Amino acid sequence: MSAPSESNAPVMTAHRAGLIGCHSCGRVWTQDHDQCLRCGAHLMPPDRRSLQKVWAWWFAGLIMYIPANLFPMMSTQTFAGLAGSSESTIIEGVFELIHHGSYDIAIIVFVASIIVPMGKFVAIGWLAIVAGRPATVDQAHTRLKIYEVVEFIGRWSMIDVFVVAILSALVQLGFMASVHPGPAAASFALSVAFTMLSAQSFDARLIWRGLPLRSKSE
Amino acid sequence: MLAPGCPWPILTSMEHEPSYDLATGRGLMACPKCDALHIEEELELGETARCTRCGTVMAKPRDGAFVQLIALSFTSMVLLVGAVFFPFLEVSAMGFGNASSLFDVALAFADGVLLPLVIAVLAMIIGLPITRAFLLVYVLAPLAQGRKPHRHAARAFRWSEVMRPWSMAEIFVIGTAVALVKVAGLASVHLGPAFWAFCALIFVNIASRAFMCQTSIWDAIEDAGQTVEFHGKPRRAKA
Ligand SMILES: [Zn+2]
């Protein structure tokens, strides 16, 4: 990082200057534009009103997350009945893996399907609540880090959906007699998609609203 | 007029005028993560410009990045086509031996109740990645040759960026590994070439991310004279 000589100088924001920065390409426009003329994205001022969309997707994701945990992800039946027929929810799937002794895979599934989605709800909810409230520069950096982690890691919850899809495909390969994806597979996939949309609609610029306009170093 | 407050210069921009205009926003760039204003300035190739306030990478022009990105896009197209038609898994159990490609599997599901699941999965692992590769080539091919960008290049590039989080080849690979562990001991399952194509795709994506500098591409589109044609026609944002 090439540090500029004026690194301790106060920072001017686009909002403070009466301008709007494009969240998609960074180009700066006057406030009478509502669409970026370079990339076509909708221009939004960094405003707490944009949080409505975050909360809408957040609740949609939460509602979908409840059946995702209560109903079975899939029911399987093997030809020879070796594993018998079984129905398992997300958490039962994890216990099954532990039972088989595959602890590493059990941990992956547990983290991806349980820790990450729950952590995401807490993190996005918390970010949306504190957004726009004055904080210290250090706190703002922490919040931005958390937001970036949430954005990066959220997609990985889809693992369990792919597992169900592949196991269903194994039916076509003549391995298992039947695999029925349970209602939880669809609602879990939707829950992950909705929370991804919730995280994407969060405006990270709100983290910095109300801060003294100082730069990163010291 | 507000004091500019020493916005820190960054950015590649073909135009050499060092000037900027706080009234119109010309020559300025705002950090998408914290809104700090920066003056656009030409960067050396290989340099990385970070936001002075939050440290977000704002530009990292790389030598020959457009050509590399085009090459990587073609590579992923080839890998994805291979991933569709080559055998993905080979199963042998109870005397059955069977090899199946994703294409076979998709056909087998074509009229079942599972169709929505199959379509969603195929979109995330094949459809979106291949669309992104096409869009990127469409945007970058003229720019790499110094020609005028194609029509709707800006929109094409923005959509390719919107699709980025939804293409999930790497997650699919892990999902496959988990599925194989779940059936381990009941049958011998062998991974086919299509699985390895997905693994290769992960590395192509990592390389592509190293060369990807959105700011350079936006600047190149703008400097090549592409004006967005939806001027004065306010439209709703994407979902
Ligand atoms: Zn823009």
Q: What is the pLDDT of residues B50-60, one digit of tens each?
A: 888 888 888 88
What pLDDT, on the 0 to 100 scale, is given for residue B12? 37
pLDDT of residue B60: 87
Query: Residue A4's pLDDT is what?
Result: 41
Please report whether residue B4 resides in a domain: yes
Which amino acid, one-letter code, is at A146? I
Choosing among B57, B172, B182, which should be mutated to test the A contact, i.e. which has the most A CBs within 10 A?
A: B182
Residue of A34, A175, A207 with shortest CB distance to B234:
A34
Total number of domains constituting chain B: 2
pLDDT value, residue B102: 82
Write out the two tokens for B116.
């929505």
Q: Which domain holds residue B51?
A: 1-62
Q: Is B7 on the interface with A (CB under 8 A)?
A: yes
Q: Is residue B37 part of a domain?
A: yes
What's the pLDDT tens digit per position in B153-204?
Answer: 888 999 999 999 999 988 999 898 888 887 776 667 788 899 999 999 999 9
**Residue B131 lies inside a defined structural domain of this protein:** yes
List the 90-149 stretch of B: residues with Cβ below 8 A of A.
Answer: 91, 93-94, 96, 98, 100, 104-105, 108-109, 114, 116-118, 120-121, 124-125
Looking at per-residue pLDDT, the higher value among A212 and B36 belongs to B36
pLDDT, position A84: 57
Interface check for B55 against chain A (CB to CB < 8 A): the answer is yes
Res B32 pLDDT > 70: yes
Determine the average pLDDT of the residues in B201-226: 87
Check residues A122 and B63 and name the one with the higher pLDDT.
Answer: A122
Q: Which of B212, B61, B225 is nearest to B150 (CA)?
A: B225
For residue A50, what pLDDT is reported?
A: 86
Q: Residue B29: is it exposed, middle or buried by C-beta count within 10 angstroms (0-12/13-18/19+)?
A: buried
Do residue B33 and residue A205 have CB atoms under 8 angstroms apart? yes
A28 → closest Cβ in B37, B89, B215: B37
Q: What is the pLDDT of residue B13?
A: 37
Residues B108 and B151 in one domain: yes
In tens, the pLDDT along B81-137 reads 999 889 888 776 655 556 778 887 777 777 667 778 788 888 999 999 999 999 999
Burial of B149 (0-12, 13-18, 19+ CB in 10 A): buried
Among B22, B35, B158, select the one facing A46 at the smallest CB separation: B35
Q: Write down the pLDDT at residue A80.
A: 53
B22 and B83 housed in the same domain: no
Mutate to test the interface with B, among A19, A22, A25, A32 (most CBs of B within 10 A): A25
pLDDT at A213: 57
What per-residue confidence (pLDDT) applies to B19?
66
Residue spans of chain A under pLDDT 50? 1-7, 215-218
Q: pLDDT value at position B21?
A: 73
pTM of the model: 0.84
Q: Long-range contacts made by residues A13-17, C-beta under 8 angstroms, separation at least 24? A: A13/A208, A13/A213, A13/B30, A13/B34, A13/B35, A13/B36, A13/B37, A14/B25, A14/B28, A14/B30, A14/B35, A14/B36, A14/B37, A15/A45, A15/A46, A15/A205, A15/A209, A15/B35, A16/A213, A16/B2, A17/B2, A17/B22, A17/B37
Alpha-carbon gap: B171 to the closest alpha carbon of chain A (Å): 6
Per-window interface: A 46-85 vs B, CB < 8 A: 46, 78-80, 82-83
| Burial track A20-53 (b if 16+ CB lie within 10 A, e otherwise) | bbbbbbbbbbeeebebbbbbbbebbbbeeebbeb
Q: Higher-confidence residue: B231 or A178?
A: A178
Classify residue B236: in a domain, yes or no. no
The reply to whether B103 and B159 lie within a common domain is yes
Q: Which residue of B has its CA nearest to A193?
A: B166
Structure token pair of residue A17: 């200057």
Same domain, B217 and B154: yes
B2 pLDDT above the threshold of 60 = no
The reply to whether B14 and B71 lie within a common domain is no
197-226 in chain B: CB under 8 A from chain A: 214-215, 218, 221-222
**Structure tokens given for A8:** 């301790």
Q: What is the pLDDT of residue B6?
A: 39
pLDDT band at B79 (very low <50, low <70, confident <90, very high): very high
Mutant choice from A64, A111, A166, A197 vs B, greatest count of B C-beta within 10 A: A166
Query: Domain ends where: B21, B36, B62?
Result: B62
Check whether residue B6 and residue B79 sit in a common domain.
no
Domain boundaries, chain A: 1-45, 47-208
The CATH architecture that domain A47-208 belongs to is Up-down Bundle (1.20)
Claim to verify: residue B217 and residue B164 sit in the same structural domain? yes
Q: Verify whether the Cβ–Cβ distance A208 to B165 is below 8 Å.
A: no
> How confident is the model at residue B140, as a pLDDT?
93
Most confident of A64-68, B15-19, B147-151: A64-68
